[in-house]
Amino acid sequence: MDPACGGGAFLIAAAHLLASAYAGLLYGTQHPAPLITQAVKADVMRTCLYGIDTDPVAVDLTKSACWLEAGGVPPINWLDNNIITGDALAGDLPPALAARLATPNPLAIVGNPPYKDKAKGAAPWIEARRPRRNQDWTAEELRRPSLDEFRHPGRGRFEYALNNLYVYFWRWALWRAFETRLHTGVVASLSPAAWLDSSAFDGMRSALRRTTDQGLVIELTPEGMRPPVPTRLFPGVAQPLCTAVFSRSNGPDPTRPARVMCATVSGTREEKYQQFDDLLRPGSP
């Protein structure tokens, strides 16, 4: 599931990986033939890929890209219930995914959510404060996330930094993958790196460790603000970025904070991609 799917780059990559894994299971090999992977890709995409975006043009681009990835064989409307126009931060959800959330199937939320600071008011459903401690929660409170879980006592003067779209998407993803389900979940996001060490995000980091089992954080811009263009993963993005993957296998264990591993990639864009691949290769330390 990509909650801000844009043109579908993350979903297309996921489709290839999932189809290859499925073909390997079917034929008992870790290296299935490309033709076999392509043959199962349409079924894998229909049953495993979900996306949402507020831009209807982006949604059409994503569905078209998926159709082409499947070889142009399925009907053009085959993913209409999987990839929809809507706002994940307001509680919208693709109908095909809503039907699967109660099952024990793993849920992976991936993406590169939009970055926009001073975004207060952009996600009222998430920004709304929780009731005071002596007040009972309504049914609506029980079924929505709140930015309150990212707040930390004594950090009130820094809380303005939480009003960024990527923070809202992180909050939504934790809620959807881990707080509404007891089954395997993964959240993987490429976002600004400010949340890694700023005091404003003490509550966010605490929530990540409280709700998951393990995490991997990779700093992508150790050069700092406005790094040399050849070192940027995205030439037009001047702020430091990171990618993070957090997962949980079963229900939460509040007594055991998640174990988090950290790494840094450096050098040119191409060198960073290679280091990134090395870090994620099975069997790497």
pTM of the model: 0.92
pLDDT of the residue at 76: 87
pLDDT of the residue at 133: 75
Q: What's the CA gap between 274 and 145, in Å, rounded?
A: 37
What's the whole-number average pLDDT of the chain? 92
| Per-residue pLDDT band at 30 (split at 50, 70, 90) | confident
How are beta strands 241-248 and 259-264 bridged, if at all?
Answer: unpaired
Whether the predicted pLDDT of 285 surpasses 70: no
**Cβ partners under 8 Å of residue 213, min gap 6:** 247, 248, 249, 253, 256, 258, 259
In which residue are the tokens 């820094």 written? 158
- pLDDT tens sequence across 4-28: 999 999 999 999 999 999 999 999 9
| Per-residue pLDDT band at 140 (split at 50, 70, 90) | confident
- pLDDT tens sequence across 201-229: 999 999 999 999 999 999 999 999 999 99
Whether the predicted pLDDT of 251 surpasses 90: no
pLDDT of the residue at 188: 97
